[in-house]
Amino acid sequence: MTVDFWPLSYAFTVPLYLALLATFLIGFVAGGVICWLSQRRWRRRARAGERRVAALERETASRPSAPAGTRALPPAGEQRRIA
């Protein structure tokens, strides 16, 4: 099969299977790049969320512990018995 790059004067002969594999590879890479670029918004939102969580954890760690005589909430998922 002769591959010709029309506006340029380059032309060469390659086996058909090689031309098909090259076409699939170029399409695969182009699709991956397009997909990665389209996810930019979600990656930005995730980084902002990580920064917010880190800031809240620093703020929580810098606060003093609860005053004596106050009751803490039960751990998440544990049922509270009311007697």
- Summary count for the chain: helices (H), strands (E): 2, 2
Per-residue pLDDT at 43: 94
Mean pLDDT of 58-67: 81
pLDDT in tens, 22-54: 999 999 999 999 999 999 999 999 999 999 999
Residue 10: is its pLDDT beyond 70? yes
Cα–Cα distance between 64 and 32 in angstroms, integer?
49
What is the DSSP secondary structure assignment for residue 63, as one 8-state letter?
A: S
